Each structure stands twice: as C-alpha cells, then as structure tokens.
C-alpha cells in the first residue's frame, strides 16, 4: 500500500483537505486488515438476468431471497431495490489455471475496503467448492462505454461530468496506493 500525497498540512494538490485523505486512509487500512465474514450461500439468491462475462467468471443481476434480509443489504429508503445485486461469480479452477488467485483475493479485499461515491459499493463475498462470489452494488444504466458508443461522442458538459468522476475515483485509489490496472480505453477513428 502507498503512503499518499506529500504536500503541506492544509490541503493536497487537488485542494482536498489532508484530514479527509488521512481519515479515508485509516478507514481503508482497518477494513483491509480485518476482512468481514458473511454467511450467505448461492441458493440465497434468485437469478434475474446475466449482465456480462469475464476471463474467468460472470456477473449476474440477482435478488437476495434470504429471509431475513441481511442488514448489510438493507437500504434506508425501504425500496425493493435494496436487495437487487450485481453478483460477480469467479470460477476458482479458471482463476487457478490462469495463476490469478492472488489477484482475485486482492480484488475482493480492496473492494470491501473502499468507500467512495464514484466506486461501486461492495456488499459481501462468500465461496463454495467451485466459485468465489462477490456481491456488488447494482448500477442501472449500463457501462459508460455503451453510452459513448451510442452517441459517438459526448457534448462538453457530459464529457466533463464523466471525466471528473473518473479522475476523482482514480485520485482516491492512487492516494490509497492502489493502481487500477483494468481501465479500458477505446480509440475511435473517423
């Protein structure tokens, strides 16, 4: 893990007070050092629809049907959306074959330790003999790439909006000493 920005005591280079960075770092370190334990199993979920596939797993929209609903899945607004989740399913055998076990474990521990508005929220994880499951916040609307592809280019206001969110998320991760290695950029030629 990194040590964060080295600037004066009042604020970092981006104008955010160092106290906020220090607090975020302390919270991250505590959550990273003490991984939470969850008592869910795959049959606690009802499949709604597939969302995507990756190198050694898939992501599905699921609904938690565990009764009672675990407190970490309940929202303050009492909406029915509080238990719809993006469930990332990682096949252990595939991850092992590709020598990615350490990366998978690190991804889970980092996700459960993050707390930032522009980064998907981690809810829980559990495993069985074949898979590792990671429950993440379900974000309606799809990937940024799809929206860009649909309109070919963003107007300036929308581009600034999305770019600022990405920059803030990357700044937060870099402050914590995390280098995000899976950012995909596509060039368009006209």
Residues catalogued as catalytic: 182
For residues 176 and 27, give the distance between their C-alpha atoms in angstroms, rounded to a whole number: 10
- Does residue 48 fall inside a structural domain? yes
| CATH number of the domain residue 133 falls in | 3.30.200.20
- Does residue 59 fall inside a structural domain? yes
Supply the pLDDT for residue 109: 93
Helices 101-113 & 18-33 angle (0-180, nearest 10): 130
Band of pLDDT at residue 68, cut at 50, 70 and 90: confident
- Does residue 133 fall inside a structural domain? yes
Give 146-177 as a 3 state SS string: HHHHHHCCCCHHHHHHHHHHHHHHHHHHHHCC
Residue 86 forms beta bridges with which residues? 61, 136
- Does residue 36 fall inside a structural domain? no
Among 52-66, 116-130, 142-156, 174-188, the least confident range: 174-188
- Which domain does 69 fall in, by range? 42-137
Residue 125 forms beta bridges with which residues? 134
Specify the number of domains making up the chain: 1
For residues 83 and 1, give the distance between their C-alpha atoms in angstroms, rounded to a whole number: 32
The SS3 call for residue 22 is: helix
């Amino acid at each position: 893990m990194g040590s964060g920005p080295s600037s004066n005591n009042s604020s970092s280079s981006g104008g955010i007070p160092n106290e906020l960075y220090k607090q975020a770092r302390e919270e991250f370190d505590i959550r990273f050092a003490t991984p939470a334990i969850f008592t869910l199993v795959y049959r606690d979920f009802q499949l709604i629809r597939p969302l995507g596939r990756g190198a050694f797993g898939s992501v599905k929209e699921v609904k938690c049907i565990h009764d009672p609903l675990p407190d970490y899945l309940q929202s303050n607004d009492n909406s029915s959306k509080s238990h719809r989740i993006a469930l990332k399913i990682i096949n252990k055998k595939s991850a092992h074959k590709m020598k990615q076990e350490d990366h998978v474990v690190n991804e889970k521990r980092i996700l459960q330790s993050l707390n930032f508005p522009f980064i998907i929220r981690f809810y829980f994880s559990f495993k069985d003999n074949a898979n590792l499951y990671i429950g993440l916040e379900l974000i309606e609307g799809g990937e940024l790439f799809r929206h860009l592809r649909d309109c070919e280019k963003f107007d300036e206001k929308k581009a600034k909006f999305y770019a600022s969110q990405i920059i803030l998320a990357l700044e937060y991760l870099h402050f914590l000493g995390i280098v995000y290695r899976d950012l995909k950029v596509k060039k368009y030629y006209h």
